[in-house]
Amino acid sequence: MKKQIIHTNAAPAALGPYSQAVRVGGTIYISGQTPLDPSTMELVSGGIDAQAQQVFENLSAIARAAESELAHAVKLTIYLTDLDNFQSVNKVMLNYFEEPFPARVTVGVASLPKAAAVEIDAILVV
């Protein structure tokens, strides 16, 4: 199958040799998004709630660029530098998803790019 590369200026540019997202058939693979403001490429201020919201906004922008929406997510992977932020991210996530929720895993990590507290990647099926 042919790969279609997805890119939008409404989400942060890739920080390395990867695409914001790749679409293959009816599946969209969105690379991990950190809480960077796409216009400044700087980490948003305001703590874990603001960071989680920015991550979901970045994921949503990429989904729209792929002519889809975040509601089509079937799998999320959440990376947290502090697992005590688990419930805060859950609360923010409820602003972006309704039941039935996507499958998900949450992983505690030592650090993330640009000292972010959270990073999330997504798989969408359309």
At 4-63, the pLDDT tens digits run 999 999 999 998 999 999 999 999 999 999 999 999 999 999 999 999 999 999 999 999
Residue 103 CA to residue 118 CA, distance in Å, equals 18
Quote the pTM value: 0.97
Domain ranges of the chain: 3-125
Residues with Cβ within 8 Å of 80's Cβ and at least 6 positions away in sequence, in order, are 86, 89, 106, 107, 108, 109, 117, 118
Task: Check whether 1 has a pLDDT greater than 90.
Answer: no
- 3-125 CATH: 3.30.1330.40
Residues with Cβ within 8 Å of 94's Cβ and at least 6 positions away in sequence, in order, are none
- Answer for the pair 32, 120: CB distance below 8 angstroms, yes or no: yes
pLDDT digit string (tens) for 49-96? 999 999 999 999 999 999 999 999 999 999 999 999 999 999 999 999
